A and B are shown apart, each in its own frame.
Chain A
């Protein structure tokens, strides 16, 4: 069998697995967020928090909960890293410097997991499991909570109430993420991922002497790292490291974990707004973009243009033998179309156009299917823009799901789609204009520019992957990427919750003959077009200077 056909079969198998999980998981999540009942252990947790989980919150209160919880998370994680040198169970690893500790704390709380440190030589057991892995859970649960609040905004009317943040946070963690992560971690151990609390120990080598290995709770962190679309590797090589991702099966399983919640949330959405077909239209839009990107990636990687790849006879630089080109391409697209940023192969050594596909995937706003929660709310913002554009064409006030998209709604949606491009392009321009940031580039020519464009695209979109040749552990990059990650995560959340509040207050407008049907293929097509045009117009000049220049020259 040719590698190309094997790649297509792997994509089909993955699609089939996702399709099988779609209904049960989507319906289950809808029940989790709609149920009136609290589980017993959850009640203990609410008691410890001191919050009444049945109080309904309006959008400002919900937002305050998100921000307070996240702010505490940043401070806690920063402190944990700064104190690492004095904490027991840290393998004797030193405390992290202030700028890097800020960057890492912002990164993990913002669900980005950009890493300017080398996992195996910087972070001991306490920070890895007690700090970083915890944010892998809760930052994902926050994303899902915000998405569910927006869905409630569509589903409810004549009330400003969006649910209870503490309840959504705890339920997302306890009822959705934890059970799947336990099963996922054990599957990964069965494949060969390590799971122990050994210190750094010596292991014999074939030619004599020994090598030093880290132990660690790797499988448990790997499972939630993918499931929560986080992406921060235990080891520097991330999911290319054989202890994180040992076999072709674990590879496809990790891609499955990345995609399963974001896709299934469209079912949850359809369930909660009482119209499953609306969810299918969103799902179809996500699916079309995902399959198209994966196809393009495989095509350009198998074609292996670029002088070094031509000389080698294949695009295997930065890729593992066990995954090959197909398994690496599938992973690279899944990780950049979601907010994951885990990598099983190094994007910097992809073909010029392949690297461009990973960049463009993030620049779409990570909505196909996007991060857990953030993918759904990002796509619903695009859906609003699409009905607005359609409304302009026929001169009608646009509606979506029975809610009028008026001035306030479209202003909030516009703010949402402007904030990340503004962060990406301004910071990239500043880094290029200033004398020293450019010293961090490790490749000459257009690719050097791409490294910096990639860094801010990844940071502001909360992805976390990198063209990793860039030496990002400088005060400039630690600080600016840290700021980009926080603003890129929480400003959009402000706009989403404000939008959710104003939608929930509206009375529903009945559908008429003039209402645009948003559950039809025509609308899914319009939505794909809207996404491509908005992103294309925003980023084309930057892409032309970087990956397009590199890709078209070779």
Chain B
């Protein structure tokens, strides 16, 4: 009995020493080495692919989607529904985003999806409401949007809630509205969208897409130029 207790203790000791050595190797040396090389070779990417506008002000990351809403009317009302600022191209909905509830000293955004099922009536309503809003917002005097023209990405939330892209179809659908709100020609805005449309990598990887932050940053520069 005594023997088996001491054998077990010896074995657990060996396990602990193995874990400590491997922790130093895989949990300290490995991440530090990768960080060192990453910071030396790809510093911008390793630090979040931040982009700046014409004035040199950091406007965010090209990888992280943002919202383009009007300022809140009443900052003290947490339930006030955000209204999109229709001057700017709008991103996908992000109904799955959460807010920090554990370490409340931070105002972190919690990435996430809605996780609502395809047959969930709440999701059906979210999609229908989003579609109605897209149709209403983007219909101008000279341009009528039909519900069937609205692409799926415009009315669904992404997996991360931080999707930086929209489909080219959704960008094109917003062109007339954006042109009208910024007193630009439709042709000018169409060209802007075309310049910021990314095809599939090597022709087959991923889906064609438009980066909303990059597009809006370029739009802002165009508006400033007049």
Give A contacts to B, CB under 8 Å.
1, 3, 5-6, 9-10, 13, 45, 48-51, 64-65, 68-69, 71-73, 76, 91-94, 118, 120-122, 129-131, 133-134, 136-138, 166, 169-170, 173-174, 178, 181-182, 185-186, 189-198, 200, 203-207, 211-215, 217, 219-221, 224, 235-237, 240-243, 246-249, 251-252, 305-309, 311-324, 326-328, 343-346, 348-352, 355, 442-445, 447, 467-469, 550, 553-554
Given contacts A314-B152, A443-B116, contact A118 B204 (CB under 8 A): no
Tell me if B140 is interfacial: C-beta within 8 Å of chain A.
no
Given contacts A121-B106, A200-B108, A349-B116, contact A343 B159 (CB under 8 A): yes
B residues less than 8 Å from A196 (CB atoms):
35, 38-39, 46-48
Interchain CB contact under 8 A, A321 and B159: no
Q: Produce 1/0 per residue, B124-139, CB < 8 A to A.
A: 1011100100000000
Known: A138-B26, A182-B30, A236-B112. 11 other contacts (CB 8 A): A10-B205, A196-B38, A203-B48, A206-B60, A241-B162, A308-B127, A318-B113, A321-B207, A355-B117, A468-B112, A469-B115
A352 to B118, CA, bound (A): 7
Interchain CB contact under 8 A, B108 and A92: no
Tell me if B224 is interfacial: C-beta within 8 Å of chain A.
no
A residues less than 8 Å from B116 (CB atoms):
308, 317, 348-349, 442-443, 469
A residues less than 8 Å from B200 (CB atoms):
1, 6, 248
Chain B, residue nearest A7 (CB): B204
A residues less than 8 Å from B45 (CB atoms):
189-194
Given contacts A195-B46, A211-B66, contact A242 B160 (CB under 8 A): yes
Interchain CB contact under 8 A, A443 and B163: no
Interchain CB contact under 8 A, B118 and A317: yes
Chain B stretch 187-223: residues in CB contact (< 8 A) with chain A: 200-201, 203-207, 209, 213, 216-217, 220
Interface-centre pick from A68, A214, A550 (highest chain B CB count, 10 A):
A68
Tell me if B109 is interfacial: C-beta within 8 Å of chain A.
yes
Chain A, residue nearest B12 (CB): A68
Given contacts A50-B14, A69-B19, A138-B22, contact A120 B59 (CB under 8 A): no
Pick from A251, A348, A444: contact of B113, CB under 8 Å = A348
In angstroms, how far is the closest chain B Cβ from the Cβ of A121?
5
Interchain CB contact under 8 A, B207 and A311: no
Give B contacts to A, CB under 8 Å.
8, 11-23, 25-28, 30-31, 33-35, 37-39, 41-42, 45-50, 53, 57-61, 63-69, 85, 88, 92, 96, 98, 100-103, 105-121, 123-124, 126-128, 131, 148, 150-153, 155-167, 200-201, 203-207, 209, 213, 216-217, 220
A306 to B124, CA, bound (A): 9
Interchain CB contact under 8 A, B103 and A121: yes
In angstroms, how far is the closest chain A Cβ from the Cβ of B164?
6
